Amino acid sequence: MTNEEAKALYDEAVSRMEAKRYAECLDLLNKLDIERPNSRHVTYHRAVCLAELDRGEEAAQCAERLEGKLDADAMAQLRGMLDEARLRHALTDSFDDEVGGVADDNDNELTILAVYPVSTEECSVQVHVRAGVFHTGDQIALAGAGGVPVTAPILRIGPAETPVNLVRAGQRTMMLLRADPVGIARGAMATCVPNEEAYGATMVVSSGPEKGAPVTGAMTPELLGIERIIRKGELAEAERMLNAHVLQHPGNYTAHRMLAQIYMDADPPLGGLQRAVTQIRTAYEMGGAGDPAVIHLLAEISGRNGETGQGLRFLERLYAATDDHNARQALEQRIYDYRNRFDLGHLWQFADDYGEVIFETADPAEVVKVLSRETVPLNAKCRRDRMGEWQTIPQLIAPEMPEVAALCGFSRKPKYNPLSVLVLILLLAVLVALIPNPAISLPLLFILLLLALLTVVILPSVSK
């Protein structure tokens, strides 16, 4: 191997190390180590890769070869990496001894194996998921350095070039957290707090408000009568009657739903968004989780309360649990309108001939990019918001995105050229003006001017 080839190989190895692709970097360094066995730079980087790959004994052997060849600071940094590798081994081994493998999925729990500062507000951590599942966007709660409680949002799971949406029990991976690295200690245990759905994820259907009180969502004759009062606009009287009904029939969640509707629609002081939130959540927990009327109102109130993502997820869950074709179509339209009304955008999915999703994005610019670069072929199937039947790109996307319409070969030119028609009419007007008899020329000029106005103003708007 020539010096130029060795340098090129070393530069490539360093670039892969900077990208945290340690296994690939180590393969290249091993080749260099065979050719340049006494290179302290190669040996040092091999030790770093081995430490990051939890091969502590081999890393220690490399460190021994560097004794006396590196300055004290470099050796101290390398020993720190080796210590982290030993800690990861110790934590993993002790955990396996305690639980005999992967823990139960009843809880979400992970161990912080190593902490790498990115800035004063972000850090990259290596974790071992001991139980459950962690998603991008969730928050982890842990006792930080000095026992101070820390809550850190998960910004990314996995490496930057190939991030993933989630990580499950038994896996080890890197996470990017929004937290001061000083406040996170190696070896700390962390649990999961789902982002924006901390309440929704724990909303469960209870067995009933009181033992012996049957849970029902039936519209009793009393509730039907109150509903007629609501339609008359007598909301204060309806609220009074519903509160009395709740006391007499504590197991009927429909009364709570109707109260939520009143509090959402009425003006203050009767109405109030937080009062509506309380009532609709009560209706959900009491047994309304499968009632479309409860879910629709819950989504609407959540959206008005600023929890638009949570409201959308309630509608999407209802859609997934609905089998009736007409009901699913109605829900598709409701979800489409909900996304538009609360500015949530839309998610576009593309599938190949085998029905596998090959690409999805919520960014229209990304749609245009992948189609123009033929990353996704124009004959792929697509659908919006993970709902409905798969359609062709010209059917679904081209009507909404002019750039995609152009890629599909659709012409948006007007059916005629208004300028040429206008010029023709003006030429006729000049010819008519040459007629010596005003009784003939003036009416004709008036008609031609009206035609010119029609050509310039009215016809272009009609032809769009």
The answer to whether residue 174 sits within a structural domain is yes
pLDDT above 80 (res 375): yes
Residues 301 and 375 in one domain: no
Mean pLDDT in residue range 281-290 = 87
Do 270 and 327 lie in a common domain?
yes
| pLDDT band for position 435 (cuts 50, 70, 90) | low
Query: Do 269 and 241 have their domain in common?
Result: yes
pLDDT at 383 over 70: yes
- Is the pLDDT at 96 greater than 50? The verdict is no
Q: Which two tokens stand for residue 325?
A: 């074709």
Does 148 share its domain with 245? no
Q: What is the pLDDT of the chain when averaged over all its residues?
A: 79
Is the pLDDT assigned to residue 448 strictly greater than 90?
Answer: no
* pLDDT for res 7: 85
List the domain range (segments joined by +) for residue 122: 109-195
pLDDT in the model for residue 33 = 85
Check residue 462 and give its pLDDT.
44
Q: Confirm whether 9 is domain-assigned.
A: yes
Six-digit token string for 126:
């290596």
- Asked whether residue 101 is domain-assigned, the answer is no
The DSSP secondary-structure symbol of 252 reads B
Does 445 reside within a domain? yes
Which position has the higher pLDDT, 302 or 137? 302
Residue 457 lies in a domain: yes
Domain boundary among 341, 360, 395: 341
Residues 300 and 234 in one domain: yes
More confidently predicted of 296 and 424? 296
Position 216 in a domain: no
Question: What is residue 133's predicted lDDT score, i.e. its pLDDT?
Answer: 85
Looking at residue 151, the DSSP 8-state letter turns out to be E
Tally of domains in the chain: 5
324 & 236 share domain: yes
- Cβ burial 229-257 (10 Å sphere, 16+ → b, else e): bbeeeebeebbebbeebbeebbbbbbbbb
* pLDDT surpassing 50 at residue 95: no
Percent of the chain surpassing pLDDT 90: 23
Task: Based on the fold, state whether residues 7 and 67 are members of the same structural domain.
Answer: yes
Mean pLDDT of 95-113: 58
Choose the final residue of a domain: 195, 212, 233: 195
Same-domain check for residues 39 and 115: no
Do 334 and 353 share a domain, yes or no?
Answer: no
Q: Are residues 242 and 281 in the same domain?
A: yes
The answer to whether residue 213 is domain-embedded is no
- CATH code, domain with 147: 2.40.30.10
Beta-carbon contacts of residue 378 (< 8 Å; ≥ 6 apart): 371, 393, 407, 408
**This prediction's pTM:** 0.45
Q: Residue 200's pLDDT band (boundaries 50, 70, 90)?
A: very low
Same domain, 377 and 270: no
- Check whether residue 50 and residue 144 sit in a common domain: no
CATH number of the CATH domain containing 63: 1.25.40.10
Q: Does residue 250 lie in a domain region?
A: yes
